[in-house]
Structure 1
Amino acid sequence: MEAEKRMEKLETENLEPSVIKNPKFVVLWLASAFSSLAFSIYLTTEAWLVVDGMDLKVWLGIIMMMTTLPRVFLMVFGGVLADRQKRSQVLFILNLIRASLVFGLVVLLYAGSLNIWILAAFAFCFGILDAFFWPSSSSLLPAVIRKEQITRANSILQTTNQMTFMIAPAIAGFMMKFRSYEEAFALTGVLLLLSSFLVRNMNEETSKGSDRNEKRSVFQDLKEGFLYVRGIPFLIVTMCSSVVVNLLLVGPLNIGIPILVKDSLSGDALDLSYLESSIAIGMIIGAVLVGILNIRRKRSVISLFLIFLLGILCALFSQIDTLWQGLLILSAAGLCLSISNIISPSLTQELVETKMMGRVQSMMATSSAGLAPLSFALVSVLLSFEVSISHIMFVSCTLMALFSLMVLWRVRIVWTID
């Protein structure tokens, strides 16, 4: 027994070379990098187009709400699709459709026909596609590597993705300032095409006992997924915590950053890109630290404490009046967010059976996105009543920090799960 434990420990300490040498993982790695780069460029360009290009900052929350709303209702069906179909093929088709939508947006911009209503419709369509994209994307990794490699593999993916998040806002800011919105969106479409074709012929392994080929109704699969999650109390706690945290953080932070750049800092697209890149720098550092440390114990406790720190940092960010303050605070916030976003999902991926992974990941993602539309809507309503974004961010992020402390204090399972 002791010899087996030593062998397992030695194997864990030498995982990274075998991960890098896994061709399926490398394909997933590259596809994820292109997709993340495209996603970040798109979001930065869309946000600045609404706030500055159209001068409709009150609408920014509504546009973001239109993206997240379909996820709430459709992501559980995306999880069923991920467990029934070949996940790499699902990603191929969805990225192809997303690229087509972006190129359509470019055509409308060139023709001068794009208005806020059309942009909202595009955002809604993106939300529908995302609802089916993310369950397949997040459940594909455990199908191409060993369970013991998940934390380190997630660290590699997150490090790369955060590097793209650092580069992407700078690219978007440069293109918007010196080129055009059309070219920034067109680049997004090209990157999505590259990601799509990379995963096209990827052959992930399916687990024994997988019921992809059984003739069962969608609702039978959904019921099985709900019962499975209900049987693991830690997943219930994680989902409930995610709902509250995202309600208090997603809307204020995503809407707040571009508005603070324009109103509090009197900045431009490049200043927005600097702040968003600073988050990515912190996230890269966090992902590298996780890869080096390969954290395997008390991950839930560490994750919740980092969310507490994230709340404090975002509350401080709401009070900035110079760019350098924002850069420092958001870098630290990115560090906390990155570590939490790697170790907590890695724990979930290790606990869950591969054949249930798509449905569980879709339910976890739904809990994350569940109140995000409400978060965006509430911020937009408060802004329409001329409540400052600084006040909104300070109150919501302080409440988030207090909530994290309460979960750590009152919920025993987060201390015992690993």
Structure 2
Amino acid sequence: MGLVLTALSIPQVIFLLIGGVVADRVPRRLILFLADISRALMVLLVAVFSYFHWLQFWHLIALSFLFGVASGFFFPAYQAIPPQLVPQDARTSANTLTALSRQLGLLIGPLLGAGAVALAGPTSAFAFDGISFALSACCILAMRLVRQRTPPSPSSFLAQSNQEIRHGTIKRQSTLKKAGGDLYAGLLYVTQIPWIWITIVLFALGNVCLSSPMQVSLPKLVHDTYQVGIWFLGVLGTASACGAMIGSLVIGQFPSPRRRGLIAYLSIALSGLGTIALGWAWLMPPFLERMIAILACLCFGTGIGVFGVIWISLLQERVPIDMQGRVFSIDGLGSFCLLPIGYALVGLLTDRIGPSLTFVCGGLGALILVGIALSVRTIRLLD
């Protein structure tokens, strides 16, 4: 399973930046359609091979790799297409609905998958999953794009750089060099906007502090420190997902709140406090211990939900439409590039000092990062 996940994740990372460049050159709806059709074929091939007893392990590796390639193209186009679908005043609400659907998928998806495997077997489960991608592709075809005004570029230099690349100043160069020029323009744009590059860097570190303990240390915290069964791990995961939905719903009620930069980072502070509380809950009596742990995960998810909606809405509003694919791909790569290192470090830390102190350290680290971010005036005043 580890090799399959590796084969899936590596091409996602490699093709993320390429997908961002393509998303700014090719119609995004077409990219989404082709990516979903490709992923449907990959999953359905697993079902077909399994049905005829042809399936071998290398098939899973190869198909997972191709699935990851398609996902690398899908993500930037998916994040960048909402401005072409909804007007600006409805964008926060649209991002809220997107976040809710994602969290519902995380809650319901495992249940549907487990139910399909239990009732009809893994072959039918893969077939059902492949059909779901095909249905998604049909929904993408039904989307209707609306005309949008392109947000002004924050600097004439960046606008000129992007214009030159897109309108043929480098026509004599190869296609690869053109793509490299587009990617360079995207990187240049990100580095010129402090609130974007600072957030990408801090979020990469924040994922190490917050996501890594949740992924690596939480099972050991539940088993060794709380001394309860695996069922409580499911309860905490559900509480976190419910918190994310609550946070998304709450921020969705305010389409254009003031000081969104301040609100976004305060929401991360809430997640950090929840992480600390999760590590210290064992100090309480058993009944209070579990209640505090559930509330801590609820706070953790709420903060992540609020931040996610605000961050995506800000990028969609402030970044020029013809630059959004590249910016979202850089954001995705930058935000999650340290997670493998974080998993390893948190695993070592959990073995050395225990899961409880690991959560406390992660939460404190997140609070320090919030303090660094809010020391930047541009972020504090970002509306």
| Alignment match, 1:162 | 103
- The aligned counterpart of 1:341 is 308
User: 29, 32, 35: which one pairs with 1:94?
Assistant: 35
Partner of 1:132 in structure 2?
73
Relative to the length of structure 1, the TM-score reads 0.72
Q: Could you tell me whether the CA contact under 8 Å between 2:272 and 2:363 is conserved in 1?
A: yes
% identical aligned pairs? 27
Deviation at 1:120, TM superposition (A): 6.5
Q: Is the 8 A contact 1:83 1:212 kept in 2?
A: no
- In the other structure, the counterpart of 1:144 is 85
Please say if 1:414 is aligned against 2:375: no
- Tell me, in whole angstroms, the C-alpha distance in 1 between the residues paired with 2:125 and 2:147: 38
Residues 148-177 of structure 1: CA distance to partner in whole angstroms, max 9, x if unpaired? 322122122223333333322443455566
Q: Distance in 1 between matches of 2:94 and 2:344?
A: 36
In the superposition, relative to structure 1, how do residues 237 and 391 fare at CA in structure 2: closer, same or farther (>3 Å)? same
Q: How far 1:249 sits from its partner (Å)?
A: 2.7
Corresponding residue number in structure 1 for 2:21: 80
Conservation of the 8 A alpha-carbon contact between 2:275 and 2:362: no
Question: How far 1:222 sits from its partner (Å)?
Answer: 1.1
What is the RMSD of the two structures over their aligned residues, measured on CA atoms? 3.6
Kept in 1: contact 2:218–2:355 (CA 8 A):
no
Deviation of 1:146 after TM superposition, in Å, equals 2.0
- 2:112 & 2:291 partners in 1: Cα distance? 20
User: Within 5 A, what are the aligned runs for 1:303-314?
Assistant: 303-314=264-275
Judging changes above 3 Å, is the alpha-carbon distance between structure 1 residues 365 and 164 closer, same or farther for their aligned structure 2 residues? same
Alignment equivalent of 2:214, drawn from 223, 232, 253 = 253
Which among 179, 193, 196 is matched to residue 134 of structure 2? Answer: 193
Q: Shift of residue 339 of structure 1?
A: 0.9
Question: 2:358 and 2:59 mapped to 1: Cα distance?
Answer: 28
Unaligned 5+ runs, structure 2: 151-162, 283-288
CA distance in 1, matches of 2:326, 2:380: 26
Is the CA contact 1:71–1:366 (under 8 Å) kept in the aligned structure 2? no
- Label 1:295 to 1:336 Cα distance change in 2 as closer, same or farther (>3 A): farther
1:300-379 equivalences under 5 Å are 300-318=261-279, 326-379=293-346
Partner residue, 2:364: 398
Q: Indicate the residue corresponding to 1:280 in structure 2.
A: 241
8 Å contact kept, 1:66–1:373: no
* CA shift for structure 1 position 79: 0.7
* CA–CA separation in structure 2 for the residues paired with 1:394 and 1:124: 37
3-state SS of 1:293 partner = coil
Q: For the pair shown, which has the larger CA radius of gyration, 1 or 2? A: 2
Most deviating of 89-98 and 154-163: 154-163
Return the alpha-carbon distance in structure 1 between the equivalents of residues 61 and 355 of structure 2. Answer: 22
Change (3 A) 1:360 1:335: same
* Aligned-partner residue type, residue 278 of structure 1: A
Greater shift in the superposed pair: 85-94 or 257-266? 257-266
Secondary structure at 1:284 match in 2: helix
Once the two structures are overlaid, the 10-residue window that deviates more, 394-403 or 337-346, is 394-403
Matching residue of 1:10: none
Deviation at 1:404, TM superposition (A): 1.6
Deviates more, 1:209-218 or 1:287-296: 209-218
Aligned residues: 354
Name the stretch that deviates more: 224-233 or 118-127.
Answer: 118-127
Alpha-carbon distance change, 197 to 348 in structure 1, aligned in 2, over 3 angstroms: same
**Aligned residue number for residue 265 of structure 1:** 228
| Structure 1 residues 272 and 96, CA gap change in structure 2 (3 angstroms) | farther
Quote the offset at 1:378 in angstroms. Answer: 3.6
Aligned to 1:21: none
User: What are structure 1's unaligned runs of at least 5 residues?
Assistant: 1-49, 51-58
Amino acid across the alignment from 2:372:
M
Q: 1:65–1:376: 8 Å Cα contact kept in structure 2? A: no
Whole-Å Cα distance in 1 between the matches of residues 100 and 355 of structure 2?
A: 31
